[in-house]
Structure 1
């Protein structure tokens, strides 16, 4: 579904990503793990067309998208839920959700709104409330719900557990698992190593702009180097 080859990218003259090779097949959850500054958000921004590559290729369902506008990438079904939620604080919950269908799936907005509310019943209780007054967990639900309004073929989640309480983190990862069980392909970009590997099919570990480790999630969670570097375990 998504194939990234020899990706080099950055900002101005600064090269952040140095030769990334990564792929996602339909129906997979693929985790990209790494600490702050490893290049995870830069990777997402380039997949979404927010920046131009220095070199390499990004193909979605066989089509080169690295020179497409963000609008065209969204229209193809690549939906990015950014780090920090980025809801429109002065708009209501309903208005935020409806904006999710602005570029894609507008004709099915009403049906998709019903589907999102079924996934996040708490949002239906807040429909007329300003998004900026929601709790952090509710804003994360809203951000993901807004992404689902566009009927994603690939959903990119950037640090969805960031800033949430342990209980809400558990709920968030269970939600991602359920969405995947319904057939949604997910690129999960996270610092939360253990819970990401518990739900992912495969994972890549990003260090200093390069892939340091990759493989099946169940194998990586047992890897001694990963356990020492990221989990603090001997």
Structure 2
């Protein structure tokens, strides 16, 4: 579904991604794991058309997105829920959600809104509330709901558990599994290694802008290289 080959990108003269190879098949949850500063968010920005690639190739459902704009990526159904939620705090919950269908699936806005409210009943209760007054967990629900409004073909979740309480983290990973069970492929970009590997079918470990370990999530979970990458052991 998504094929990335030799992807390179950076900022100014600083190269951050140093030849990333990665693929996602239909129906999968694939975890992309790494500590702060290894290039995970940069990878998401390139896939979303926000940051240009300096080399390499991105193919999504048979279509090249290597030099695509952010508009092109959204219209293709490659939907990115960014790190830090990036909601519009002074707009209502409903307005935030409706903006999710601005470039894609606008004709189905009403039915998709109802679907999001069924997934996140708390958002229905806060429809007219300013998004900035929601709790951290509710804001993350809103960010994912906004992404769902665009009827994603592939959903990229960037650090969805960041800043949440342990109980809400559990809820978030359960939600990710539920969305995937409905057939939605998900690229899960996380620092939470343990739960990500329990949730995903496959995983990639990124260090210094390159993939150093990849394979079935269960295999990686038991690989001593994982401890070296994260703990220096």
Superposition TM-score, scaled by structure 2 size: 0.98
Give the secondary-structure state (helix, strand or coil) at the position aligned to 2:5. Answer: strand
Distance 1:211 1:125 in 2: 42
> Within 5 Å, which residues of 2 pair with 1:9-158?
9-158=9-158
Q: Give 5+ residue unaligned stretches, structure 2.
A: none
Distance (Å, rounded) in 1 between the aligned partners of 2:232 and 2:212:
18
The DSSP-based 3-state class of the residue aligned with 1:205 is strand
Q: Given that residues 97 and 149 in structure 2 are in contact (C-alpha distance below 8 angstroms), is that contact kept between their aligned partners in structure 1?
A: yes
Per the TM alignment, residue 225 of structure 1 is displaced from its structure 2 partner at its CA by 2.1
- How far 1:228 sits from its partner (Å)? 4.6
After TM superposition, give the deviation of residue 43 of structure 1 in Å: 0.3
Matched length? 233
Please list every run of at least 4 consecutive aligned residues from structure 1 whose deviation after the TM superposition is greater than 2 angstroms: 227-230
Structure-2 change in CA distance of 1:233 and 1:52 (3 Å): closer
What is the CA-CA distance between 1:227 and the residue it aligns to?
Answer: 3.2
Find the aligned partners of 1:52 and 1:164 in 2 and give their Cα distance. 31
State the Cα distance separating 1:224 from its structure 2 match: 1.5
1:36 CA drift (Å)? 0.2
Q: Distance in 1 between matches of 2:169 and 2:232?
A: 21
1:216 aligns with: 216
Contact 2:87 2:143 (8 Å CA) reproduced:
yes
Distance across 2 between alignment mates of 1:229 and 1:204: 12
Q: Residues 58-91 of structure 1: CA distance to partner in whole angstroms, max 9, x if unpaired?
A: 0101111111110111011000000000000000
C-alpha separation in 2, matches of 1:209 and 1:233: 18
The alignment partner of 2:27 has SS state of coil
Q: Is the 8 A contact 2:207 2:229 kept in 1?
A: no
The separation in 2 between residues aligned to 1:65 and 1:132, in whole angstroms, is: 33
Structure 1 residues without counterparts, runs of 5 or longer: none
State the secondary structure of the residue aligned to 1:10: strand
